[in-house]
């Protein structure tokens, strides 16, 4: 009788323990992901210049100090210009490349896809060093300045925006139902009309997600731009690194918190109109 009584409880107890273990693993994973972000935000309000625990008090003065730093303001504007221009160039090119890879019957599609996605696998500092040497050689050939110019920085960051766009738009195209396109074509619509009225609206979630991730990846990039900036043309991450060489106070935490807030708002606004969970 005891065996009959205990046997049903055994599987139920094991299932509950399994669910608790999965829940604990999920909570631990989220804690590992969000702990650095929480620490940065909390540290930005510490009153003391040298960060110690527990804090001696809380203050807003590091945000005011960050606002007063002209290098941060110039770096923000430069990063914003680069990110907007690189996104405006890279997203259309990446979208066209993704359409060609998925829809066109071209030879070597796998090799071309690997080539377009390769910048995501190459360490950014390696890519930055290679671009720095290429720009030096190109300046000698063309007898013009390329490094530390807005055009040179935008061209370098396009190498980031194109792979993100190809990856996300390709994923969007893979789940696209072509029935509406075929119906429009059968009714006499021209190919460009089908693309403009049918295909492009259905691709909007993937294109918007690609634009968002391209902008963030370009705006926050440090390693790729580190060797390509110059006097008067410094991005915000590089300006933060330069500030760190001379001072170690929570000002950088305040700047990082502002960037986290900006990216969070962008993602929430984007997700309000385009569900990112369907693409990424």
Better-predicted residue by pLDDT, 200 or 156: 156
pLDDT band at 190 (very low <50, low <70, confident <90, very high): confident
Instruction: For residue 58, list its beta bridge partners.
Output: 46
Residue 80 predicted with pLDDT over 90: yes
Mean pLDDT of 241-250: 84
pLDDT tens digits along 128-140 = 899 999 999 998 8
pTM comes to 0.83
Q: Are 81 and 153 in contact (CB under 8 A)?
A: no
**Is residue 41 classed exposed, middle or buried when 0-12, 13-18 and 19+ CB atoms within 10 A define those classes?**
middle
The Cα 238–Cα 125 span in angstroms is 13
Asked if residue 71 has pLDDT above 50, the reply is yes
Residues 6+ apart with CB under 8 A from 76: 236
Least confident of 14-18, 88-92, 240-244, 262-266: 14-18
- CB of 125 closer than 8 Å to CB of 226: yes
For residue 276, name the pLDDT band (cuts at 50, 70, 90): low
233 backbone φψ class: left, alpha, beta (φ>0; ψ -120 to 50)? beta
pLDDT tens per residue across span 246-271: 888 888 999 999 999 998 888 888 87
Residue 154: pLDDT band with limits 50, 70, 90: very high
What confidence score (pLDDT) does residue 8 get? 52
Q: What pLDDT band is residue 18 in, cutting at 50, 70 and 90?
A: confident
Reduced to 3 states, what is the DSSP secondary structure of residue 46?
strand
DSSP 232: T
**Measured distance CA(209)–CA(266) in Å, rounded:** 11
Positive or negative CA dihedral for 214, 215, 220, 223? positive
């Amino acid at each position: 009788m005891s065996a009959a009584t205990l046997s049903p409880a055994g599987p139920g107890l094991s299932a509950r323990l399994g669910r608790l273990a999965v829940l604990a693993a999920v909570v631990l994973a989220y804690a590992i992901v969000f702990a650095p972000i929480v620490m940065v935000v909390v540290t930005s309000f510490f009153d003391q210049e040298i960060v110690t625990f527990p804090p001696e008090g809380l203050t807003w003065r590091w945000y005011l100090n960050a606002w007063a730093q002209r290098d941060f303001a110039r770096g923000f504007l430069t990063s914003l210009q680069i990110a907007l221009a690189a996104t405006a160039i890279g997203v259309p090119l990446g979208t066209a490349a993704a359409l060609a890879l998925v829809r066109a019957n071209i030879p070597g599609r796998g090799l071309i896809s690997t080539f377009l996605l390769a910048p995501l696998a190459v360490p950014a500092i390696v890519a930055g060093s290679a671009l720095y040497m290429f720009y030096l050689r190109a300046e000698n050939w063309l007898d013009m300045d390329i490094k530390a110019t807005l055009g040179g920085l935008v061209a370098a960051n396009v190498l980031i925006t194109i792979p993100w766009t190809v990856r996300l738009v390709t994923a969007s195209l893979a789940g696209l139902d072509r029935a509406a396109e075929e119906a429009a074509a059968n009714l006499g619509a021209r190919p460009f009309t089908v693309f403009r009225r049918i295909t492009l609206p259905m691709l909007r979630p993937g294109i918007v997600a690609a634009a968002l991730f391209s902008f963030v990846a370009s705006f926050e990039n440090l390693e790729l731009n580190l060797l390509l900036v110059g006097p008067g043309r410094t991005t915000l991450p590089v300006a933060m690194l330069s500030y760190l060489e001379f001072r170690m106070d929570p000002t950088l935490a305040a700047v990082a918190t502002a960037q986290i807030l900006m990216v969070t708002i962008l993602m929430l606004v984007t997700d309000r109109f385009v569900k990112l969970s369907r693409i990424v």
